[in-house]
Structure 1
């Protein structure tokens, strides 16, 4: 790339970075709009599955990229080592793009390529999550490992605050700069607001207990165990379904017993709660969905569309796209 073009690129990138960090809420609204487009493209154009996944993955990756820019300026998140941070970033990128990679592999190489990509992705994710648990002492690995920032908690006047003061690294208290005070009769002695609040603490501050490590290990190994069982018994057999359910219930039961004895951080509690709610997805997974829940779900949606005003506007798209969503997203290895 010529030097002039590279300098132009850096100029535009700097302008984009300043715009993102100065308008976090507006950027968040735009990201949400782009993400919702992926839901409405399914079934409406040729290769809609690939297109909707491309839009969805790119929108999530854009959120991650913008969050990195905002965090670099506000330092909202807890500082991590470089290697620790890179592992979390790569896992988050895979969480956002794994379905796109599976669909792309199917288009290019058929079912063989699809399952090869699935095994490679899940093996890599399992290995990296085990590194987070055993090397970096994370007690509960989040999904995704780097959740989106809560933009509403970010002050809109970051630039003006930075001009007046600076944030201490340990306490994060904002100290007013000497030259920012101006004349004495114009000064305000009120403390400056913080540049950002630590949105989540990394669980390395608390030493993991052996039972919690075992519980998290079972949860991390679940995708590979499910895939291994499915390769032996078949995709629509009950054994993989039951093995995954048993591993989830066992892991959650071990966590519930441990959380009564040890303190749990907010992000750990939220992740465990998310896993508990995710148990409901088992009714949408084969073979349970094919044999039991599909007929009941369709009957319920049709009943709502006939008896509730305006319900048809919601139920008809769900009835139309539910087979696509069920076959694409409700895998045992996706949660």
Structure 2
């Protein structure tokens, strides 16, 4: 027993050391990391349809690229003082939801290749149950607000880097003033206007141009500063009708799946139920002026995604498909060079439309 514990401890220590080395390498080489992430994503498009199981491999690489970005974002956020302040449980649930949403298409495709349509629907149902339970827990037990898709989205790393450098600059100024007692500003004799001294200007790449107030560096007025503030915005607590509106949005996938099981995949009833729940949810939210910018963007995205119902069966099969293919053929035939894009798109569209998580995940 003691030997087993020692072995486990060594493995844990090895994993911790490996994690630390990886995090250090990512922080020290941000440009290389970004290039590697882009290369993974481009590779996923290049291998699609090139050989047997190319679509599955393409989706695997694409999912891996998203997960790599997610992992590296966490490394950069851990090294920065900026980020959403949420409980450990909430962050863990959101992380799991993000991982699931990045992997669900690959899991569906793999299940269909391995166990056929029946196996794929079992996996789809299991994933949707897990997502619904976690989202409802966040909504009702953790007083969560509107969850984005995915819950933890990629961040602008320039914000994290600049904010970290800005904090270091503030600390350096505070330390310098404590040691030397040197003033950061002086007043012009004629006008009385307060001007920052040259030595208090700071490094040009993180410099703020306002005058320090009471020894405190003023916040930046740049776009990066505005974006940085968004990272710290807490979720708006949903109460009353709005909470039920979010509940409708969260439970819509399970209601749609159950309706398809009862009435069949070709029935209009699951489609009408889903679009009805989505439209009702958006209507119940009402005005969104009191929501933060991130949540308003999510509400706007959901409104736009109602157009996705044009691509969802049976509406797609009976109305959209013929008209869309006619438009694509016309563009490929009469617009120069577009055939290189349109023909592969027309070939891949049936594969895309057949994947549940491509069409119904939003």
Give the TM bin, normalised by the shorter chain.
Answer: 0.7 to 0.9
Structure 2 partner of 1:200: 231
2:266 is aligned with 1:244: no
Q: 2 CA distance for matches of 1:12 and 1:224?
A: 40
Task: Note the 1:220-259 alignment, pairs <5 A.
Answer: 220-255=250-285, 257-259=286-288
- Tell me the alpha carbon deviations over residues 178-203 of structure 1, each in whole angstroms, 9 at most, x when there is no partner: 59989x8xx93236758982443454
- Alignment equivalent of 2:345, drawn from 315, 318, 323: 318
> How many Å apart are 1:135 and its aligned residue?
1.8
Question: Which residue of structure 2 lines up, in the alignment, with residue 44 of structure 1?
Answer: 50
**Distance (Å, rounded) in 2 between the aligned partners of 1:274 and 1:98:** 20
Question: 1:147 pairs with 146, 153, 176, which one?
Answer: 153
Instruction: Please give the root-mean-square deviation of Cα atoms over the aligned residues, in Å.
Output: 3.3
**1:233 offset after TM fit, Å?**
1.0
Q: Judging changes above 3 Å, is the alpha-carbon distance between structure 1 residues 246 and 332 closer, same or farther for their aligned structure 2 residues? A: farther
CA distance in structure 1 between the aligned counterparts of 2:13 and 2:178, rounded to whole angstroms:
32
- Equivalent-residue separation in structure 1 for 2:67 and 2:302 (angstroms): 23
What is the alpha-carbon distance in structure 1 between the residues aligned to residue 178 and residue 65 of structure 2? Answer: 39
Assess, with a 3 A threshold, how the Cα gap between structure 1 residues 325 and 253 changes in structure 2: closer, same or farther. same
- How far did residue 35 of structure 1 move? 1.7
1:136 equivalenced with 2:142 (yes/no): yes
1:94 aligns to what?
100
1:257-296 deviations in Å (ceiling 9; x for gaps): 242xx51111111111111121122121111111111111
Measure, in 2, the Cα distance between the counterparts of 1:222 and 1:4.
46
Match of 2:193 in 1: none
**Is the CA contact 1:24–1:156 (under 8 Å) kept in the aligned structure 2?**
no
Q: What are the ranges of 5 or more consecutive residues in structure 1 without an aligned counterpart?
A: 167-173
CA distance in 1, matches of 2:361, 2:66: 16
- Residue 139 of structure 1: how far off its partner (Å): 2.5
> Is residue 211–residue 258 contact of structure 1 (8 Å, CA) maintained in 2?
no
Quick check: which has more Rg, 1 or 2? 2
TM-score by length of 2: 0.78
User: Any idea what the Cα deviations from partners look like across 1:279-318, whole Å, max 9, x if unmatched?
Assistant: 1221211111111111111111111112212111221221
Indicate whether 1:83 and 2:110 are aligned.
no
Larger mean Cα displacement after TM superposition, 218-227 or 298-307: 298-307
Q: Secondary structure at the match of 2:200?
A: coil
Structure 2 vs 1, CA of residues 190 and 136 (structure 1 numbering), >3 Å: closer, same or farther?
farther
Going from structure 1 to structure 2, the CA distance change for 1:38 and 1:331 (only over 3 Å counts) comes to closer
Alignment TM-score, normalising by the size of structure 1: 0.84
- Indicate how the Cα distance of structure 1 residues 164 and 49 shifts in structure 2: closer, same or farther if over 3 A, else same: same
Matched, 1:115 2:121: yes
Counterpart in the other structure of 1:171: none
Please give the alpha-carbon distance, in whole angstroms, between the structure 2 residues aligned to 1:17 and 1:180. Answer: 33
Are the aligned partners of 2:105 and 2:357 in contact in 1 as well (CA < 8 Å)?
no
Which has the higher mean CA deviation after the structures are superposed, 145-154 or 26-35? 26-35
1:25 to partner: Cα distance: 5.2
Mapped partners of 1:157, 1:82: distance in 2: 23
Report the Cα offset of residue 248 of structure 1.
1.0
2-structure distance, mates of 1:330, 1:94: 11
**Structure 2 unaligned runs (5+)?**
1-6, 183-197, 207-218
Bigger shift: 10-19 or 214-223? 10-19
Secondary structure of the structure 1 residue equivalent to 2:79: helix
Q: Deviations over 1:218-266 (max 9, x none)?
A: 00000000000000111121111111111111111122x242xx51111
Picking from 311, 332, 353, the partner of 1:284 is 311
